[in-house]
Structure 1
Amino acid sequence: MISIEGLSKIFTSNKRQITAVDDLTLEIKEGDIFGVIGYSGAGKSTFVRLLNRLEEPSFGRIVIDEQEITSLNSNQLRLARQEIGMIFQHFNLLWSRTVKDNIAFPLEIAGVPKAERDKRVRELIDLVGLTERENAYPSQLSGGQKQRVGIARALANNPKVLLCDEATSALDPETTNSILDLLVDINQKLGLTIILITHEMHVIRKICKQVAVMENGRIVEQGDVLDVFLRPKQQVTKKFVEQVMGTNDEDEGVNHLINTYDRGKLIRLHFIGETTNQALISEVAKKYEIDINILQGKITQTQAGAYGTLFVQIDGEAGEIDNAIDFITKTSVEVEVIRDAN
């Protein structure tokens, strides 16, 4: 659906060149919710603005739905942009226009007849949950309602791609979740490809299927969200995972456990997908002559499924402990022995 090859953007400031996006190559599948995460200055906002040529690339090629965006002239680009919706962190609404008039604005520019325009606006107001607010002005709306207007406006021309540049960063956590739920609903109902730019890992965790991590203008890590959460390779990725998993606190707790328990084996279990719902500990305790002490754990949901970590102490005869661990391993739960005091 979206193919990006060797994309670069170089700015010149005070006779000095700054590379904001550096030789970026990426494939995004049709209908995917694709997350791009990075800290401030990573180049992610420049990257998303290059996709619809709000910023002109210095080098590289962008193909969206078999159309090479980077080779279009100004008239061709104006038409192509109708199929690429975009929403922003600070909403970018027209403050002198009502909700319905803000949503209708891109349709007016496209020359859509009024009757057809009004029909489309009503559909979009219902879709984003703003029924009975269509005559309100932006100053009369909450932050979440303003962003819903922004989403409806971005969908007005039935785009194939929706670009979201820090779309939830100005919102409180509860409102953020409601907007993310709306984006998932739109993705499922319309089959829309969504590219989500953010610096918040919980946003990626909640709705994205694939993620790319940016640092210094480059993609340093990418893959399925679940895989990246479970096995982050780069230091910047590990920091983002800590946002939702509290890895530092966990490591401190593990060190305490290692120094506390001097019997049996201390193990860490990694549950992925359906295995998080298994009554595994109860089954093992019934099957083998061992004592199991649950020490600490955490389960997190992603769009691709659940994963979790559980620390347990297993005490008993060495042979029974080994049999129990072998049984757990065969269930596809990953087992890591942290301390063996036998």
Structure 2
Amino acid sequence: MIEVKNVTKIFKTKNGELTAVDHVNLSIQKGEIFGIIGYSGAGKSTLIRLLNGLEKPTSGSVIVNGLEISSIKGKELRLARQKISMIFQHFNLLWSRTVAENIAFPLEIAGVPKEEREKRVHELIELVGLSGRADAYPSQLSGGQKQRVGIARALANNPEVLLCDEATSALDPETTDSILRLLSDINQRLGLTIVLITHEMHVIRKICHRVAVMEAGRVVEQGDVLEVFQNPQAEITKNFVMQVSDSRESKESIEHILKNYPSGKLVKLIFVGNTTERPIISYLIKEFQLDINILHGNISQTVNGSYGTLIVQLDGDSENVEKALEKLKSMNIKTEVITND
């Protein structure tokens, strides 16, 4: 659906050249929700603008559904953009227009007849959960409702791709979750390809199938969300995973136990999928006659399954401890010995 091939974008500034996107390669499949995460200045906003032709690459190519967006212009580009919609952090609504009129705006531009336009607007208002608010103005809406209008407007021309530029950053956590549920529902119902940029790993974890991590204009890591959570490689990815896995708390727990309970072996267990639901601790205690002290645990849900970590202190016969670790590995539970006795 989307191919980004060796794309670089360089801006000329008064202080010299600025490389915003640096030799990026991405392949996004039809119907998936693809997340791009990075801190401010990472280049993710520039990258998403390259996907709909708002920016042209300095080198490389951007292909969307077989059409090279990076090389077309004029009427051809305008028609292509009708199939590549975008929603924004600050909604970008027309404040003098009602909800229905905001949603109808792109249909007016496209020359859709009034009767057909009104029917489509009604469908979209129902789809995004704004029944009864058609005649309200943006000033009368909550942040979440404004973003729902933005989503409905973006869907007006039946796009094939929906770009989300920090679409939940201005919202509170509860509203963010409701908007993410709506996007996930739209993805499933319409088979819409969604590309979502954010600086929050919570957003990636909630709805994305795959993720690319950006730093200083480069993609430093990419893959299935569950795999990235399970085994982050780049330091920045580890920091993002820490946002939703309470690793800081676990670090404090480790320091505390090392100081106060120096015996035994400290082990981090990593569970993926169905292994998160097994009664592992009780099994180890019974099977290997171990004393087990649970220091920290966390389970996160992703689109592709559950990911959990558990930090424990194993105390008992050293041979039994080693047997227990081998047994865990045979059960597809990754183990990481943090310290030895």
Shorter chain as denominator, the TM-score bin is: over 0.9
Cα-to-partner distance string for 1:168-220 (whole Å, 9 max, x where unaligned): 11111111111011100001101111000111111111111111111111111
Residue identity opposite 2:273 in structure 1: G
Helix, strand or coil at the partner of 1:71: coil
Helix, strand or coil at the partner of 1:145: helix
2-side partners of 1:8 and 1:320: how far apart?
55
2-side partners of 1:101 and 1:233: how far apart?
47
Q: Which moved more, 1:301-310 or 1:256-265?
A: 256-265
Q: Which moved more, 1:62-71 or 1:89-98?
A: 62-71
Residue identity opposite 1:210 in structure 2: R
Helix, strand or coil at the partner of 1:27: strand
Q: 1:5 — aligned with what?
A: 5
Q: How many residues align?
A: 341
8 Å contact from structure 2 (residues 168, 179) kept in 1: yes
Q: 1:248 — aligned with what?
A: 248
TM-aligned CA deviation for residue 307 of structure 1: 1.1
Correspondences of 1:220-235 after superposition (within 5 Å): 220-235=220-235
8 Å contact from structure 2 (residues 246, 298) kept in 1: no
Q: 1:144 — aligned with what?
A: 144
TM-aligned CA deviation for residue 325 of structure 1: 2.5
2-side partners of 1:16 and 1:331: how far apart?
55
Residue identity opposite 2:161 in structure 1: V
Q: 1:292 — aligned with what?
A: 292
TM-aligned CA deviation for residue 114 of structure 1: 1.3
Q: 1:164 — aligned with what?
A: 164
Residue identity opposite 1:300 in structure 2: S
Correspondences of 1:20-35 after superposition (within 5 Å): 20-35=20-35
TM-aligned CA deviation for residue 289 of structure 1: 2.5
Structure 1 length normalisation: TM-score? 0.95
Q: 1:153 — aligned with what?
A: 153
Cα-to-partner distance string for 1:262-321 (whole Å, 9 max, x where unaligned): 433332211111100111112222333333232221111122211111122233333333
Cα-to-partner distance string for 1:29-48 (whole Å, 9 max, x where unaligned): 11111111111111111111
Residue identity opposite 1:186 in structure 2: I
Q: 1:106 — aligned with what?
A: 106
Question: Structure 1: which 5+ runs fail to align?
Answer: none
2-side partners of 1:238 and 1:322: how far apart?
28
Correspondences of 1:163-182 after superposition (within 5 Å): 163-182=163-182
Helix, strand or coil at the partner of 1:70: coil
Q: 1:263 — aligned with what?
A: 263
8 Å contact from structure 1 (residues 258, 338) kept in 2: no
8 Å contact from structure 2 (residues 128, 152) kept in 1: yes
Q: 1:185 — aligned with what?
A: 185
2-side partners of 1:15 and 1:316: how far apart?
63
Question: Structure 2: which 5+ runs fail to align?
Answer: none
2-side partners of 1:159 and 1:295: how far apart?
49
Q: Which moved more, 1:311-320 or 1:89-98?
A: 311-320
1-side partners of 2:116 and 2:211: how far apart?
37
1-side partners of 2:71 and 2:272: how far apart?
44
Root-mean-square deviation over aligned CA pairs: 1.5
Helix, strand or coil at the partner of 1:221: strand
1-side partners of 2:292 and 2:239: how far apart?
32
Cα-to-partner distance string for 1:138-173 (whole Å, 9 max, x where unaligned): 010000000000000000011010000010111111
Decide whether aligned partners of structure 1 residues 321 and 159 sit closer, same or farther in structure 2, where only a CA change above 3 A counts. Answer: same
Q: 1:43 — aligned with what?
A: 43
1-side partners of 2:200 and 2:43: how far apart?
15
8 Å contact from structure 1 (residues 180, 207) kept in 2: yes
8 Å contact from structure 2 (residues 270, 308) kept in 1: yes
TM-aligned CA deviation for residue 15 of structure 1: 6.4
8 Å contact from structure 1 (residues 2, 63) kept in 2: yes
Structure 2 length normalisation: TM-score? 0.96
Q: 1:58 — aligned with what?
A: 58
1-side partners of 2:325 and 2:44: how far apart?
44
Q: 2:304 — aligned with what?
A: 304
Identity of aligned residues (%): 61
TM-aligned CA deviation for residue 23 of structure 1: 1.9
Q: 2:327 — aligned with what?
A: 327
TM-aligned CA deviation for residue 124 of structure 1: 0.7
Helix, strand or coil at the partner of 1:194: strand
Decide whether aligned partners of structure 1 residues 338 and 11 sit closer, same or farther in structure 2, where only a CA change above 3 A counts. Answer: closer
